[in-house]
Amino acid sequence: MNDGEDKPKGTTTTAIPMESLAAIAAALLSSKHVSPSDAARSSPSSLILLPGGRLLHLLRRFLLLSLHALLSLLFFLLSPAFSHLPSSSFSPATAATAPDGTTAADRALAHVLSTVSRVPVASRKYELVRSLADRLLDDNLRLGAATGLNELNRAALSAAFSRNLQCLEAATAAAISRASPTDRSLDMIIGAVRSGMRRFAAAAAVAEEGDVVGVGGAGSAEKMAAEALWLGQKMAECGAAVEAVAQWGAAARLGRLALSAEPRLQVALVRVSAFLFKHANSKQMEEWKGEGEDGSIAHYRMAMLTSWLPLLCRASNGVGAPIMSSGERVEMLRVLEEIIEKLSWEQQEEILALWLHHFTSCPDSDWPNLVSCYTRWYSESRKFLLK
């Protein structure tokens, strides 16, 4: 065959490997899968003329990924400079006005409770601040209601519990987002920008005490859940548990997020829910008058059930061991049945339908088993048909 004679396309020996490499590179950059057979048939000319503007898609994705890498590198290089920024000025006057309260004692207690939520558990100062808060609360409780210190405890703990729920919801959402990251390039860039801005804001806000940090660290959601239980127990000691019940029941979004949370966090949230369910069935709850348009007891009990009964159905096994002992499960089941039976007929139907859906949707859990409660309700409902 002459050198000037064109070679058949099918017999080219050097073009095929190069074409395969180009197709494989395009497949790695593309979000769509390219089979080996398709890669072998691809050519540089066909890559340029990909249908639907695929080349533009590849270029756009490459540019977005490059921008994400540049932004990440930029924030990484700038973060040391921001970490050495002087901290904001601090004085006893600003400390006294930051927390809510009308007196110095109110503000001081609120400031200690706020500090507990900011200090990480790994810090050697966490136990010190936590024990200080316990001491102040216990001393106020010991001095009695005649001095008004019991009301001081209630107000400070209620505000701290409210802040805790907000931080816990944000930390849970962030933990779920980190556990299931998206692969979209634009979201990656937005995430890099937000992460960098948070890093700068945290660096500017951190005091000279290097181990006092914000709420958003690793494991912070589990820490905030443990502190929610601690705050709820303290509120129960000063007769304010029903206020914690009202706030916990109103945290419907946190209850939905809990269904997708890590098992360890679910364990902590179940313990808080179990503790507050008991107080939702207490005599103190019967006498409590809530605020808002519907301050009825049934309203708050319904909120507790709709927000947290699904989590009890899906997370009752715990991590490697049951969350509660057999005796605690029996007692908790009795509490749930009593709360449901105190609701109206229509409310019982709604709650039992919610329980049946989540109970049957989780094959690994057999608690709480409200079959007997469901059967009793249905038997009573059947009587209306016989009248």
pLDDT for 105: 87
pLDDT for 354: 96
Same domain, 244 and 323: yes
Same domain, 227 and 256: no
Amino acid at 94: T
pLDDT for 45: 46
- Residue 314 Cα to chain centre, angstroms: 16
Same domain, 272 and 371: yes
- Secondary structure of residue 1 in the 3-state scheme: coil
pLDDT for 83: 46
**Does any domain span residue 73?**
no
**Does any domain span residue 17?**
no
Mean pLDDT by 10 residues, the chain (387 residues): 46 47 50 46 46 69 77 66 45 42 85 93 93 94 78 94 95 84 50 55 40 47 96 94 95 95 92 96 82 74 96 70 80 95 94 95 86 93 77
**Does any domain span residue 374?**
yes
pLDDT for 363: 79
Residue range(s) defining the domain that contains residue 366: 240-387
Amino acid at 93: A
Residue 243 phi, psi (nearest 5): -70, -35
**Does any domain span residue 25?**
no
Residue 33 is classified by DSSP as: -
**264 contacts 179 by C-beta, under 8 angstroms:** no
Distance CA 110, CA 118 (A): 13
- Closest by CA to 158, choosing from 221, 209, 234, is 234
**Does any domain span residue 19?**
no
pLDDT for 366: 85
Same domain, 255 and 386: yes
Distance CA 112, CA 271 (A): 25
Q: What dihedral do alpha carbons 251, 256, 258, 261 form, nearest 10°?
A: -140
pLDDT for 162: 96
pLDDT for 98: 42
Same domain, 245 and 230: no
Instruction: Write down which residue in 182, 215, 238 finishes a domain.
Output: 238
Same domain, 180 and 150: yes
**Does any domain span residue 52?**
no
pLDDT for 324: 82
Q: Count how many domains the chain has.
A: 2
**333 contacts 316 by C-beta, under 8 angstroms:** no
**Does any domain span residue 48?**
no
Distance CA 59, CA 56 (A): 5
Same domain, 150 and 166: yes
**Does any domain span residue 264?**
yes
Same domain, 249 and 271: yes
Convert 295-325 to b/e letters by CB count within 10 Å (16 or more is b).
eebebbbbbbbbbbbbbbbbbbbeeeeebbe
